[in-house]
Amino acid sequence: MSDDNAKLASLGKDYEFAIHDGTVGPSVIDVSTLYGQSGQFTYDPGFTSTASCKSTITFIDGEAGTLLHRGYPIEQLADKGSFIETCYLLLNGELPNAKELEEFETAITQHTMLHEQMNRFFHGFRRDAHPMAIMVGVVGALSAFYHDSTDIGDEEQRRIASRRLIAKIPTIAAMAYKYSIGQPFVYPRNDLDYASNFLHMCFSVPCEEMNISPVLAQAMDRIFILHADHEQNASTSTVRLAGSSGANPFACVAAGIACLWGPSHGGANEAALDMLAEIGSVSRIPEFVARAKDKNDPFRLMGFGHRVYKNYDPRARVMQKTCHEVLGELGIKDDPLLDVAMELEKIALNDEYFVEKKLYPNIDFYSGITLKAMGFPTSMFTVLFALARTVGWIAQWNEMIEDPSQRIGRPRQLYVGAGPRDYVDINKR
Ligand code: SDX
């Protein structure tokens, strides 16, 4: 806690509030007693100036464009680690040693199968259902099958539920994809690593063996690392709020998936690729940049801008590098969408509107091109985001449950509706 206090004068009275310092980043003014002392609320739509919790998991420096998971820079985790290792780090706070990593990876591998009866959920959807609709439904339904890991007060049950979610989310995602293209579900294989197993479940068919490219498997693993966690973003805050009522982890993650689906959040990777396709050629970029700057036009450059980053999203740099590696591995020499993306980035980063508003490419700008090249339809892009973010949601959910100061989240409001009035009989209206 800081030695200094924050002072507030309001409606003729003076108040003081404690200031708490973090390890790094902005300190906070603890206003939890404001209403009790003053009868007033703070007002912060969109929570642009509000810290909702204390956390030890992830830190973003928006001005510098840096991202740390338990203190480790995302670039180093993406370059030297694996997604399963990052999952262990996010859940436990430290990088695993070789024995810990092997035990964790084995446990995840042995939970990848779904209860066979869950297959029937998929057949209840139309074939053209958006895979995110299937993800929301099937992940929520996990709580109907795994009753032995829904008591959130039991640490062991929380551990089992966490591992089950991390293990089963790729299987569910792959089944959603297979269902959408009318191909048979492919069971997970215990001899494959996490990313290779996912590619196997998505792209192999019973008729022939599938050779999984190590370059594509590594790219998939790195894409999962880049999407794993990101402080208190909208979907993570949704999971925390749902969890604060005592809801089970499967229901909370289903709520997070629903929130991530929005085009302003995880749905931006799908929207960004659709935007690049609509622009179509470098010659049309000025037209769309003008639209993005036009206050009367709702169009925005998808994959650009961020609530926290006012510098280049460090994940976007790694994603751009991965994009080139994937296109190279697949022998895709000139991808017109990549040409448009690179030129659009160059134009936007030199345009005073984007410079003044500090709008840079975010993680969603290059991910769509990469995933499309790997063979995923745009409708699967946000599903892959949800797959990777599940570990972040679960790590944050566990942290919230274990926080002794945790209470049910219940914001207040500024009421601007009708004042008290009497009922009017219908024959007098
Ligand atoms: C993710 O929170 C997270 O951490 C999210 C995420 C994660 O890992 O969980 O990083 C993942 O969601 C990345 C963001 C993906 N979304 C998009 O790419 C959609 C396009 N971006 C915008 O919708 C917007 O930038 C947001 C939603 C990302 C951020 O919105 P903010 O913080 O509310 O910012 P804002 O809308 O207030 O914009 C500030 C100004 C506005 O202009 P003024 O009203 O001040 O004149 O910048 C403008 C906006 O009009 N602006 C854009 C723009 N983004 C913001 N103008 C054109 N194109 C854009 N993309």
Confidence bin at 151 (pLDDT 50/70/90) = confident
Please list, in sequence order, all residues whose beta carbon lies within 8 angstroms of the beta carbon of residue 76, skipping any fewer than 6 positions away.
Answer: none
348 lines ligand 1 (CB under 6 A): no
The residue whose CA is least distant from atom 37 of ligand 1 is 307
CA 48–ligand 1 middle distance (angstroms): 12
Cβ neighbour number for residue 346 with a 10 Å cutoff: 11
Write the pLDDT tens digit of every residue in 349-363.
899 999 999 999 989
pLDDT over 70 percentage in the chain: 100
Q: Which atom of ligand 1 is nearest to the CA of 357?
A: 47
What is the distance between the alpha carbons of residues 183 and 171, in angstroms, rounded to a whole number? 14
Q: What is the pLDDT of residue 150?
A: 81
Q: What is the pLDDT of residue 149?
A: 77
CA 267–ligand 1 middle distance (angstroms): 13
Q: What is the pLDDT of residue 147?
A: 79
Write the pLDDT tens digit of every residue in 163-204.
999 999 999 999 999 999 999 999 999 999 999 999 999 999
The pLDDT of residue 160 is above 70: yes
Q: Which atom of ligand 1 is nearest to the CA of 235?
A: 9
Average pLDDT of every residue of the chain: 95
Identify the DSSP state of 32.
Answer: T
54 lines ligand 1 (CB under 6 A): no
The pLDDT of residue 4 is above 90: no
CA 151–ligand 1 middle distance (angstroms): 37
Write the pLDDT tens digit of every residue in 12-52.
999 999 999 999 999 999 999 999 999 999 999 999 999 99
Cβ neighbour number for residue 334 with a 10 Å cutoff: 7
Contact (Cβ atoms closer than 8 angstroms) between residue 397 and residue 278: no
The residue whose CA is least distant from atom 22 of ligand 1 is 305
Q: What is the pLDDT of residue 334?
A: 83
CA 187–ligand 1 middle distance (angstroms): 39
What is the distance between the alpha carbons of residues 33 and 8, in angstroms, rounded to a whole number? 12
264 lines ligand 1 (CB under 6 A): yes
Q: What is the pLDDT of residue 1?
A: 62
237 lines ligand 1 (CB under 6 A): no
229 lines ligand 1 (CB under 6 A): no
Contact (Cβ atoms closer than 8 angstroms) between residue 200 and residue 186: yes
CA 307–ligand 1 middle distance (angstroms): 6
The pLDDT of residue 153 is above 70: yes
CA 308–ligand 1 middle distance (angstroms): 9
The residue whose CA is least distant from atom 26 of ligand 1 is 306
**Segment holding 66, helix H or strand E:** strand 66-69
Q: What is the pLDDT of residue 148?
A: 80
The pLDDT of residue 3 is above 90: no
Residue recorded with tokens 């993406």: 78
307 lines ligand 1 (CB under 6 A): yes
Cβ neighbour number for residue 78 with a 10 Å cutoff: 25
The pLDDT of residue 320 is above 70: yes
265 lines ligand 1 (CB under 6 A): yes
Please list, in sequence order, all residues whose beta carbon lies within 8 angstroms of the beta carbon of residue 346, skipping any fewer than 6 positions away.
Answer: none
Report the 3 state secondary structure along 162-191: HHHHHHHHHHHHHHHHHHHCCCCCCCCCCC
Pocket test for ligand 1, best of 50, 279, 304, 393 (most atoms within 8 A of CB): 304
The residue whose CA is least distant from atom 7 of ligand 1 is 230
230 lines ligand 1 (CB under 6 A): yes
Select which of 306, 313, 334, 351 is catalytic.
306
Active site residue 364: yes
Write the pLDDT tens digit of every residue in 92-115.
999 999 999 999 999 999 999 999
Of 251, 228, 254, 249, the residue nearest 401 (C-alpha) = 249
259 lines ligand 1 (CB under 6 A): no
Q: How far is CA 25 from CA 31, 57, 59, in A?
A: 18, 14, 8
The residue whose CA is least distant from atom 46 of ligand 1 is 295
Active site residue 61: no
